[in-house]
């Protein structure tokens, strides 16, 4: 008889270096929920970040994971998990824990199990939080060793921010994220400002559910869906409005659905960004499988923290290495 499995759930908090500010507000710590699944010999871990924008709370997500303990004890697999929980943070933690556990039991890498070629280092963006034009320009200048900067926009003064940052870092590649804060009436003007600043991509300029205008304008800068897309089921409805999609494991509900979402996005002609919430290396590690052939990678969560897990991912001037086996996968 196969031994049952046990589930442990923990909430951990990691201070953010300074503060992380977007159009919805600022925060000073990353609150993560970690699921650990063990079989008596091996343990697999997965980390998620509950997001209030999607109606999630730390307590609610932890409870949702804990409620799966009987199914885990009965050896729930990843296919069964997809049917048991909806896309979101809770399913992400469990899905990634199951990938990690399977890799450890079989003595094979999660990449190999997923049919992904041996992992290589990838270039990640580094995020500049929303602030005044001068402050963002100064932060961008301080981060000039990173070849790709991600600018948080979404407030009055975005044109000035874009111009100031480009003047401060004339050689850096730039992408930007408005976090649903632009108005349709300002869209074409702000896209032109982004083009003038040499921005490669704008994430989610309009609110999810209010982004129809994107289909009817000439997008002078490619536009990427974030809040408008969660998993495969949401792709077809937005494919004509966007040029790319930001795939995050906390939205898809784990690596299993994220891999399928990426394949479907490619089939629809969409480019791919692999993104993250502010979290530790444990949350980034499974996303690196998805990032191998992505058009843009934004997995800088640990770089925004005062401290990370040990062992964690190794970052060098905007390049992140594959995870050590002791961390995940």
Q: Which residue of the set 152, 195, 251, 271 is catalytic? A: 152
User: Which two structure tokens, joined as six digits, stand for 185?
Assistant: 């009436």
Which of 87, 127, 94 lies closest to 250, judged by CA?
87
Which helix (H) or strand (E) segment is 20 a member of? strand 6-22
Is residue 2 part of the annotated active site? The answer reads no
Crossing angle for the helix pair 281-291 and 255-267, to the nearest 10 degrees: 30
> Looking at the DSSP assignment, which residues form a beta bridge with residue 44?
37
d(C-alpha 4, C-alpha 73), whole Å: 5
Question: What separation in angstroms does the CA of 197 have from each of 165, 169, 297?
Answer: 8, 11, 20
d(C-alpha 38, C-alpha 163), whole Å: 52
d(C-alpha 303, C-alpha 243), whole Å: 28
d(C-alpha 69, C-alpha 117), whole Å: 33
The rounded Cα 140 to chain-centroid distance in angstroms is: 21
Strand order in the sheet with 296-297: 126-128, 148-152, 173-177, 199-203, 223-225, 244-247, 271-274, 296-297
Is residue 152 part of the annotated active site? The answer reads yes
Q: Which residue of the set 2, 150, 240, 248 is catalytic? A: 248
The catalytic residue positions are 152, 248
């Amino acid at each position: 008889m196969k031994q049952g499995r046990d589930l442990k759930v923990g909430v951990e908090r990691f201070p953010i270096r300074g503060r992380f500010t977007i159009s919805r507000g600022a925060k000073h710590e990353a609150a993560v929920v970690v699921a650990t699944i063990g079989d008596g010999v091996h343990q697999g871990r997965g980390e998620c970040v509950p997001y209030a924008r999607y109606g999630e709370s730390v307590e609610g997500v932890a409870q949702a994971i804990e409620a799966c303990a009987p199914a885990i004890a009965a050896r729930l697999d990843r296919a069964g998990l997809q049917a048991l929980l909806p896309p979101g943070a809770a399913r992400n933690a469990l899905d990634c824990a199951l990938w990690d556990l399977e890799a450890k039991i079989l003595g094979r890498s999660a990449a190999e199990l997923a049919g992904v070629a041996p992992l290589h280092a990838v270039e990640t963006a580094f995020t500049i939080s929303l602030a005044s034009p001068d402050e963002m320009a100064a932060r961008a200048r301080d981060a000039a060793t990173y070849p790709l900067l991600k600018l948080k926009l979404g407030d009055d003064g975005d044109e000035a921010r874009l111009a100031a940052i480009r003047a401060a870092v004339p050689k850096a590649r730039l992408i930007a994220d408005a976090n649903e804060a632009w108005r349709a009436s300002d869209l074409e003007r702000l896209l032109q400002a982004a083009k003038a600043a040499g921005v490669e991509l704008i994430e989610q300029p309009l609110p999810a559910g209010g982004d129809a205008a994107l289909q009817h304008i000439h997008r002078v800068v490619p536009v990427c869906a974030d809040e408008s897309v969660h998993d495969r089921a949401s792709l077809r409805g937005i494919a004509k409005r966007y040029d790319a999609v930001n795939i995050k494991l906390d939205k898809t509900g784990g690596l299993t659905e994220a891999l399928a979402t990426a394949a479907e996005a490619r089939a629809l002609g969409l480019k791919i960004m692999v993104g993250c919430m502010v979290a530790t290396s444990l949350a980034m590690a499974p996303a690196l499988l998805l990032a191998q052939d992505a058009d843009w990678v934004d997995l800088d969560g640990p770089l925004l923290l005062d401290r990370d897990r040990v062992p964690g991912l190794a970052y060098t001037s905007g390049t992140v290495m594959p995870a050590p086996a002791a961390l995940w996968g």
